[in-house]
Amino acid sequence: MNTKPWKTNDRGNFQRESSKHSPTALCRELDQVVVLVSGEPPEGLLDGFADIARNADPSSEYAALFLFPGIEPGLIVEAVTCASPLIPIVNMTGRACPRADFSAPMPSRSALREGWTAIDEIRAKLRLLPPLPEGEDRDPLTLCYLAFSRDGQLNGVIDPHVEEMVSYPLLTGIPGSRDILESLAESGLFERRFFERLLLCERCGSARALAREVCPSCNSANLEEIQIVHHYRCGHQASRSEFDDGENLICPKCRHRLRHYGVDYDTPGEMQRCRTCGKTAAEPLVSFLCADCSHETRGVDIQTREYSHYRLTKAGELAAEEGRLPGREIEELLSRLAGWRSPHNLALILESIHRVHTRYERPYTVVSIPVPDLEQARQELGATGITRLRRALVDMLRESLRSADFVALHEGRIVMLLPETDPANGEAVMKRLSQQIRESFGEKMRLEASLVGYDQSPSLIAMLSKR
């Protein structure tokens, strides 16, 4: 790989530095920002763009990546993989780099300035966000962070290099990114905008399906179009080749010569003849051949998949600013309650209690409380007020729950199970919680709690049981 080592001279400009060890990359530090420069920057291009420079390899920490001609393709993958997925990338190689935030056809000082401006804007937005957490929320929050720092958009493009035929350039290197986006959209953190609808192979699900016209009899694509001739006098119809004797059109049925079009005969249309089996058909069948597994799917059986562009919503912005997905903080608080259960465990308990109720008419109550809308809470209470609201709600639940009661969080709703409690007493608990929230946070912060009737318990059990 062609990479030059650099150091600063007395004026703070870059100059060559001889070294026995050829570095794999160059790092620059601009205002305490480490930047990895890979490839061969033109002589003097970086002069005046830095005060400090040091050598590093792609596995070191850096805040931005500049790509110049001469870079080995593998280093791009290595650098992006090793670093945070949020790093801004400036591409001046003249080659495609889907993950790049700014691209120029060739290196120049003006392109370098534009690239640095683009990076500065992204970094300014990233500075507003907390560090990415570890664990299962890291990838979903990475998508929120990327959208937050890149104008709120995660757009798809047609990409023949992937089976899905659609990729999201900013999400390069993040496995399962579309599934994550769909999950975040279902949670209200992203808004969908239609992009494309593609056809899928029924065997492997690939969208690289080639449309073909095939013979209805043998499924061969070896078809030819033939013209049909209709002889008025005897009514015979056949392909033109059957009428053609080399010089004239002779009816193969009655052997009369066809002299004048529109008087002796006409050509009512065309048909498809299969060169493989010899059969003819008025219309061919439409079929789709998978470029990945070679399976053929009939047109009537083909499935479709819809792809979207995604825009970060206000709730998504809030999740990025807090560094946690909605419900995570309240889940942590609820998990400290003595009656805390997972949704699946609560379903088992509710199923048992419902059986006892059905047989012996023992009462119980289920209260469903939606987690307060974060966007409304932020507008009414501010960022600190949201945390205060969540903690107050959990404290109120702690005061209301008895040692034999249970609570779980499922799809944005707090589910309370109160054994040996008739609906009237359950409604009293619900009203008391709603009143406490209004008294503490104002009339606009209403708690829209509801009772789950006995007849609704089986469907609730089914929903809670889904893992």
Residue 342 is part of a domain; what is its CATH number?
3.30.70.270
**For residue 226, what are the β-bridge partners?**
271
263 and 336 together in one domain: no
Give CA–CA dist 343/465, Å, rounded: 7
337 and 437 together in one domain: yes
Measured from the Cβ of residue 159, the count of other Cβ atoms closer than 10 Å reads 14
342 and 450 together in one domain: yes
CB 35 within 8 A of CB 63: yes
Query: What is the reported pLDDT for 461?
Result: 93
Mean pLDDT of the chain: 82
Quick check: is 198 in a domain? Answer: no
Quick check: is 300 in a domain? Answer: no
User: Which tens digits make up the pLDDT trace of 328-381?
Assistant: 767 778 888 989 999 999 999 999 999 999 999 999 999 998 876 655 666 666
DSSP H helices, 268-327, are 314-322
- Work out the average pLDDT over 14-41: 46
Give CA–CA dist 359/56, Å, rounded: 72
CB 448 within 8 A of CB 367: no
Give CA–CA dist 392/251, Å, rounded: 94
Query: What order of strands is seen across the sheet that includes strand 450-452?
Result: 406-410, 413-419, 364-370, 450-452
333 and 249 together in one domain: no
58 and 115 together in one domain: yes
Q: What range defines the domain where residue 250 resides? A: 216-283
237 and 114 together in one domain: no
Query: What is the reported pLDDT for 53?
Result: 38
451 and 355 together in one domain: yes
* Selection from 163-167, 249-253, 397-401 with the highest mean pLDDT: 163-167
User: Model pTM greater than 0.85?
Assistant: no
Return the H-helix or E-strand segment holding 126: helix 109-126
Farthest CA pair distance, the chain: 105
Residue 57: which pLDDT band, with cuts at 50, 70 and 90? low
Quick check: is 433 in a domain? Answer: yes
Altogether, the residues listed in the chain come to a count of: 467
- Work out the average pLDDT over 195-206: 94
48 and 113 together in one domain: yes
Quick check: is 359 in a domain? Answer: yes
Quick check: is 55 in a domain? Answer: yes
Quick check: is 299 in a domain? Answer: no
> Which residue, 267, 283, 299, sits at the end of a domain?
283
Which residues have a Cβ under 8 Å from the Cβ of 275 and sit 6 or more positions away? Answer: 220, 222, 223, 224
Quick check: is 72 in a domain? Answer: yes
Q: Please report, as a single letter, which amino acid is at residue 145.
A: Y
> Which residue, 72, 96, 126, sits at the end of a domain?
126
Closest CA to 318 of 273, 279, 371, 369: 371
Query: What is the reported pLDDT for 153?
Result: 94
CB 365 within 8 A of CB 422: yes
The radius of gyration of the chain from alpha carbons, rounded to an integer in Å, stands at 34
258 and 340 together in one domain: no
- Higher pLDDT, residue 373 or 466: 466
343 and 279 together in one domain: no
> Which residue, 110, 126, 142, sits at the end of a domain?
126
344 and 447 together in one domain: yes
Give CA–CA dist 354/362, Å, rounded: 9
Quick check: is 61 in a domain? Answer: yes
Query: What is the reported pLDDT for 122?
Result: 93
Q: Beta strand pairing status for 64-67 and 33-38?
A: parallel
44 and 115 together in one domain: yes
Q: How many domains does the chain have?
A: 3
